[in-house]
Structure 1
Amino acid sequence: MTEHEHNDAPLLPAEPEYVPGGSRRRKRKRLPGCLAVLVALALVVGGVWLAGSKVTDFLSDKFASAPDYDGPGRGKIVFEVASGDSAAAICRGLKDDDVVASVDSCISAAQANGDSAGIQVGFYELKKEMASADAIDVLVDPANLQTSSVTVPEGLNVDQVVEVLAKGTEFGASRFRNVLDQPAKLGLPDYAEGNPEGYLFPSTYAFGPKDKPADMLSAMVDRWEQAAEDADLEGAAEELGYTPHELMTIASLVEAEGRGDDMPKVARVVYNRLELEPNPTAGFLQIDATVNYALDKSPIARLTLDEIDSVADSPYNTYKQKGLPPGPIEAPGDAAIAAAAAPAEGPWFFYVTVNLETGETKFTDSYDEFLGFRSELDEYCDTQSDRC
């Protein structure tokens, strides 16, 4: 045994293990099986914790810690929710107007409010520097919509419509008349020839706080256009042999003279008087409402012979002038426009409203029977003079 044989370990490292393919690798010390599994598990759990904490931190920074005003706010601002606005669009608008401190805090408040999906289009009064939750609370309540509700009844002429609008809004009558003097702003049909009489549609309107007289009057013309389309005014006019403007004139007469289910029959009387021979009043409509329009009186006021003669030359005096007056005498509603476009079938030349309280109206093609109806009306007026 040599001197080297007394050492416990070799002097040179062991020959590396041969690996097929010509490469060599060193032998590695391996961890016991259980310990390896524990180490791997610790690494996985640690990674998940690290990733989760980063996501939590991100969301916390993004939403939970998004800037928000304490409220209750200051001043006053009118904010509009437009058609098609999403929650994000609403919140961006609120941030731009300095109602809320950040878009993120606003979106979080909207998500937390179950009614936010039902926010209605319109104008709302808010404050600057509101807490996001408070601003959303205002928007979800329809009672907070800022509108001026104005009801324009059927049968008013332009001057009367202006009075109603002036009373129901913050604008004086002169502001509306200034717009009416510039009819190009209204969107009237060409056949109206710039005259809004009859084309300011009677309805209930909800005007926003930013609406001006031009907006309001244009909205009324837009609503008339809808009614005309529903009644196929232009198609009916062509079929009946009249212009759309003439049908609107007839509709205004029907509005003034008829009620409810009687309107198509009143329209037929107008057409029959204009078209059919023989009859005692061929070509003369003899409608009191047109003469009252010339006299600037209420359409239901009974006329005297002196009053009829006083406006004999007026084109609206249908006792003295044949045919239709030059245009509508008041604003007809849906039913009257529909009646003018689709008159009832019948032989009637005459009608008399024999009871002005109930609106009972009788129709006939007999002149003698008509005179009997007039006597019936006279008897009514003798007992109800305040209504005649």
Structure 2
Amino acid sequence: MTEPHLEHSIFGADETHDPRRQGSVPPPEPQLRRHRARRRPARRRRRFLVLLLAIAIVGGAVYGAYRALWPVVQQLTASNDYPGPGSGQVQVTVNDGDTGRAIGVSLEKADVVKSSKAFLDAASADTRSASIQPGTYTLKKQMAAKDALAILVNPKNRTVPKVTIPEGLWLSEILARLSKSTGIPIKEYQLAAKDTASLGLPASAKGNLEGYLFPATYEFPAKSTAREQLTTMVDKTVAELSQAGVSEQDMERTMIVASIVEGEVNGKADRPKVARVIENRLTQKSGPTRGFLQMDSTVHYAVKKRGKAGTTNADRASTSPYNTYRHQGLPPGPINSPGAASIAAAAHPAPGPWLFFVTVNPATGETRFATTTAEHQANVNLFNKWCRDHAGKC
């Protein structure tokens, strides 16, 4: 009886405590799943917060970059040209030798164009840009580059200090004209005229500037100095002498003869014949002239008299070395600034035997030539008749 009881109690204990049979104790695996399920929402919230923070950081960086780079982007994408038409007035000077880039920089500094590049782009597209001339131009502020270019390529829109020096003026007269036309004080011209070494004067001139300021119409750069202007004029004279085939050692003599030709001839005709008369008289050691030029123009220079043809007895009595009635040979220097025609005539006199000439009609410049004293006297009589018919002109 005892054994069955023990067996029963063993099986009974096993049955009572077997969780699989009674179901009172939950299995461990489902319990772990519930704990994990409770932790997942917390992890998701943390991940969301981290994501939001990352988005905020990235967004801030993007915004900062946007703030920093936007002006650069605007600059890169903005037009480098004004739309025009501009307003107001501004003057811009184009100097001799200025390149297109230099002109563009000047326009940009004056706020005529938005950028020099805009002007260069407009100039490269217009072949007329190569013809822009030195001068001062009146433009508007904030113009379109092509409109500014259109003004610059039209010579009518420029203003320049312009001065015209006619043939035959004395040095003193030329300096006065230059000063009046340019506004530079005459003292600056007189001072520059003394420094002939810096003006490019030929050595044969021996420092005498008379005659070497070439007569022409000049358009000097707006800011040119008195010395620069005189240098330009001397360079022009030297160029004309070289073109006429005159060597440097012969330049002074040629200029003296040319200045006498200029002073004696009214008009374009007969200059080479007048030059021949001068050369013939210089070589004649005897006869009616005996080496005396007897030119009224040299006496006019000696006594500084303008406005009348011929000379008086008092004028011809002057002791000046420029009085060729009293002194044989050429005067010591040029008596005026001769033009190209007179320089060419002095360099290449016409062949002929003439010893005399006289302008029988100063109004028209009609000049007659002679080889004998009698022929010359007949021509002089014609001149005297003209003077009687035109009182106060001789």
Q: Return the match for 1:250 from 250, 257, 260.
A: 257
Q: Secondary structure at the match of 1:385?
A: coil
> Which residue does the alignment assign to 2:242?
229
Cα distance, 1:100 vs. partner? Answer: 2.6
Contact 1:256 1:299 in 2 (8 A): no
> Which residue does the alignment assign to 1:43?
none
How do 1:126-141 and structure 2 match up within 5 A? 126=138, 129-133=141-145, 134-141=147-154
Cα distance, 1:75 vs. partner? Answer: 6.6
- Separation (CA, whole Å) in 2 of partners of 1:164 and 1:354: 31
1:173 aligns with 2:183: no
Cα distance, 1:379 vs. partner? Answer: 1.2
> Which residue does the alignment assign to 2:377?
371
Q: Which blocks of at least 5 consecutive residues in structure 1 are unaligned?
A: 1-59, 238-242
Q: Secondary structure at the match of 2:135?
A: strand
Matched letter for residue 144 of structure 2: S
- Separation (CA, whole Å) in 1 of partners of 2:373 and 2:84: 81
Which has a greater percent of helix?
A: 2
Q: Quick one: structure 1 residues 386 and 74, their matched pair in 2 at CA, closer, same or farther if it must change by over 3 Å?
A: same
> Which residue does the alignment assign to 2:99?
85
Q: Quick one: structure 1 residues 182 and 157, their matched pair in 2 at CA, closer, same or farther if it must change by over 3 Å?
A: same
Matched letter for residue 255 of structure 2: M
> Which residue does the alignment assign to 2:205?
192
> Which residue does the alignment assign to 1:215?
228
How do 1:53-92 and structure 2 match up within 5 A? 65-66=79-80, 68=82, 72=86, 76-80=90-94, 82-83=96-97, 85-86=99-100, 88-92=101-105
- Separation (CA, whole Å) in 1 of partners of 2:291 and 2:115: 72
How do 1:1-388 and structure 2 match up within 5 A? 65-66=79-80, 68=82, 72=86, 76-80=90-94, 82-83=96-97, 85-86=99-100, 88-96=101-109, 98-110=111-123, 114=126, 116-126=128-138, 129-133=141-145, 134-234=147-247, 243-258=250-265, 259-298=267-306, 300-309=308-317, 311=318, 313-388=319-394
Q: Quick one: structure 1 residues 119 and 287, their matched pair in 2 at CA, closer, same or farther if it must change by over 3 Å?
A: closer
- Separation (CA, whole Å) in 2 of partners of 1:161 and 1:260: 22
> Which residue does the alignment assign to 2:12?
none
> Which residue does the alignment assign to 1:7?
none
Q: Quick one: structure 1 residues 349 and 75, their matched pair in 2 at CA, closer, same or farther if it must change by over 3 Å?
A: same
Cα distance, 1:317 vs. partner? Answer: 1.1
Q: Secondary structure at the match of 1:261?
A: coil
Cα distance, 1:247 vs. partner? Answer: 1.4
Give % identity.
Answer: 38
TM-score (norm 1): 0.75
Q: How many residues align?
A: 320
Q: Quick one: structure 1 residues 119 and 260, their matched pair in 2 at CA, closer, same or farther if it must change by over 3 Å?
A: closer
Cα distance, 1:70 vs. partner? Answer: 5.7
TM-score (norm 2): 0.73
Q: Secondary structure at the match of 1:260?
A: coil
> Which residue does the alignment assign to 1:26?
none
Q: Secondary structure at the match of 1:78?
A: strand
- Separation (CA, whole Å) in 2 of partners of 1:122 and 1:368: 57
- Separation (CA, whole Å) in 1 of partners of 2:118 and 2:289: 76
Query: In the TM superposition, what whole-angstrom CA distance separates every residue of 1:113-135 from its partner, at most 9, and x where no partner exists?
Result: x4653441313335685223343
Matched letter for residue 326 of structure 1: P
- Separation (CA, whole Å) in 2 of partners of 1:64 and 1:193: 64
When Rg is computed on C-alpha atoms for both structures, the one with the higher figure is 2
Q: Which blocks of at least 5 consecutive residues in structure 2 are unaligned?
A: 1-73
Query: In the TM superposition, what whole-angstrom CA distance separates every residue of 1:71-90 from its partner, at most 9, and x where no partner exists?
Result: 7356744332554724x553
Q: Quick one: structure 1 residues 208 and 84, their matched pair in 2 at CA, closer, same or farther if it must change by over 3 Å?
A: closer
